[in-house]
Structure 1
Amino acid sequence: MSSHHIVREKQEPALLILSLDNFDAGHLGELLEWSPTVLAAAPAAEALFAAGIHIDYLLMGGDEEAPLQAGLQLIRVENEPLLTAAMNFLIDKEYPAVNSVTAQFSPELYLPYTTQITLIIFWGGQKFIAVKPGFEKWKPAGSKIYINHIPPDLVCHNLTETGNGNWVTATDGFIKLAFMQPYLFIAEDI
C-alpha cells in the first residue's frame, strides 16, 4: 500500500501569506505539507521564492512589478486591502477554509468572513481560530488558551481565567464556550 495521499483540490485549507515576519519556517513547512493553494502578498513573495516555495496566486498592487514563476497567477489589488481581496477571491472560488499568516491581526477585519469560510490566523506566535457558540474541544489539563474580546455573556466549562483574556484548562477533558454573538476568536500558542 502506498504511503502517498491523494488530496482533492480545495480539500485542504488554502494558505494566505500576508507576511512572514516573525513566523517560524518549521510552522510554514507544516502548513505546506498537504500542498495547499498558496496565495501570497508581494512583500512576502520574495522570501517564498528564495525558499523554493511555489506560489499559486500573487496579490499585487497595480504599480508593482510581477516576478516570473511558472504557473503563477496574478491578482491585481486596487482600492481595497490585500486581506479583503484575498478573502473575496477565496470565497468566490469556494474554498471552505484558509490558514492566514500575518504580521498584524485585527479580529474585526476577519469577522465579516466567518460565516463564509473557516478561518485560522497565525500571528504573534499564536494560532487564532474563529469559533461559533457551543464550541468544544478536548484539551489536556493545564493547556492555555486566549480569548480575544470576551463577550459579557461568555460561559466557560473546564476553563479557569488567569487574567487579560488568558484561560487555562482545569482538568483533562472538553472545554466548552457558550456565548450569544455569532463568532469569537480564541488562540493557542504554536
Structure 2
Amino acid sequence: MSSHHFVKEQQEPAVLILDADQIRFEQLSPLLEWVPTVLVSEYALDRVLSWGIKIDVILASVSFQATNQQLLEEQYPVKFIAAEGELYLEAGLEFLLATDHKAAHLIGISHISAFDLGTKLDLITITLLDGDWKYYPVKSGEFKKWFPDSTIHIHGKEGMPLQVQNDNGELILPITYATMLEVPEGITSIKAPGIFWIGEQVYS
C-alpha cells in the first residue's frame, strides 16, 4: 500500500477533474498538497497522467474501460467508475457522497453550470475552478470577506437583488449574466435572498 493511500480519510477536499484543457499543473499543485482523492474523466486522463499525478478513480465509459485495462495495473490501486453519456460530473459526485467526502474541488466545469449542481450543494462543499477563476457558493444568502483591491464576479439567478457594502459605500443592484464588481481592499459584505456564487481571479 502506498503512503498516498494510507493517509486518506476523506478529510481533504477531493479533486474531480472533468476537463484539463484550461488548467495548468501549477494551478492544481496546491490542491494536491494534502493527498486528496483524485477523480479524472476519461477525456482529461492523458493530460493529467502527463503531469505525474496519482489518480484514484477514472470516470469512463464501458468501452473505454474495456480498451484500457492496463491502467488498472499502471495506476494501481485505481478503480474505474462507469459514466455513460458524459455524465462524469454526476457519477463523480455520487461516488464522493457514497464514500463520505465532505468537500470537493471541481475542475473543468464552467461556472455557468454551477446551478446544475442543485441539491448536491446541500450534501457536499463544492469549489469550482474555471480557467483562472475560483468560484464558491454562498448558500446562507449572506457573505462577508476581506478582499484585496480587485474585481470579483457574482453569479446567481438573473435579476436577483444584491446588497453590497464595503468602504465604497452601500450598493443595491440586480444580478445580471456577468455581474463584475470592483471591490476595495478590506471587508465586503454581500446579501441576497437566494444562493449565489462568488468568483475570484486566483491566477493570472
User: Normalising TM by the smaller chain, what interval?
Assistant: 0.7 to 0.9
Pick from 108, 118, 122: which aligns with 2:129?
A: 122
Give the number of aligned pairs: 181
Pick from 72, 94, 101: which aligns with 1:95?
A: 101
SS at match of 1:31: helix
Question: What is the alpha-carbon distance in structure 2 between the residues aligned to residue 90 and residue 157 of structure 1?
Answer: 36
Q: CA deviation at 1:167?
A: 0.7
| Structure 1 position 154 matched with structure 2 position 162 | yes
Pick from 170, 182, 188: which aligns with 1:168?
A: 182
Q: CA deviation at 1:110?
A: 2.1
User: Which letter does structure 2 place at the counterpart of 1:184?
Assistant: F
Q: Which runs of 5+ in 1 are unaligned?
A: 1-6
User: Which letter does structure 1 place at the counterpart of 2:115?
Assistant: E
| Structure 1 position 144 matched with structure 2 position 144 | no
> Bigger CA drift: 25-34 or 143-152?
143-152
Moved over 3 A (4+): none
- Equivalent residues in 2 for 1:13-92 (5 A)? 13-64=13-64, 65-66=67-68, 67-68=71-72, 69-78=75-84, 81-92=87-98
SS at match of 1:20: coil
SS at match of 1:16: strand
Cα distance change on mapping 1:83 and 1:43 into 2, 3 Å: same
Q: TM-score with structure 1 length normalisation?
A: 0.85
Question: What is the alpha-carbon distance in structure 1 between the residues aligned to residue 165 and residue 50 of structure 2?
Answer: 46
Pick from 137, 142, 148: which aligns with 1:134?
A: 142
Question: What is the alpha-carbon distance in structure 2 between the residues aligned to residue 100 and residue 115 of structure 1?
Answer: 16
Structure 2 counterpart of 1:178? 191
Question: What is the alpha-carbon distance in structure 2 between the residues aligned to residue 8 and residue 49 of structure 1?
Answer: 20
User: Which letter does structure 1 place at the counterpart of 2:188?
Assistant: I
Deviations 1:110-137 (A, max 9, x none): 2331111111011121111111211211
Aligned Cα root-mean-square deviation (Å): 2.3
Deviations 1:2-54 (A, max 9, x none): xxxxx661111000000111212111111111111000001111122222211
Cα distance change on mapping 1:126 and 1:145 into 2, 3 Å: same
Structure 2 counterpart of 1:4? none
Question: What is the alpha-carbon distance in structure 1 between the residues aligned to residue 138 and residue 86 of structure 2?
Answer: 26
Question: What is the alpha-carbon distance in structure 2 between the residues aligned to residue 104 and residue 155 of structure 1?
Answer: 25
Q: CA deviation at 1:103?
A: 5.0
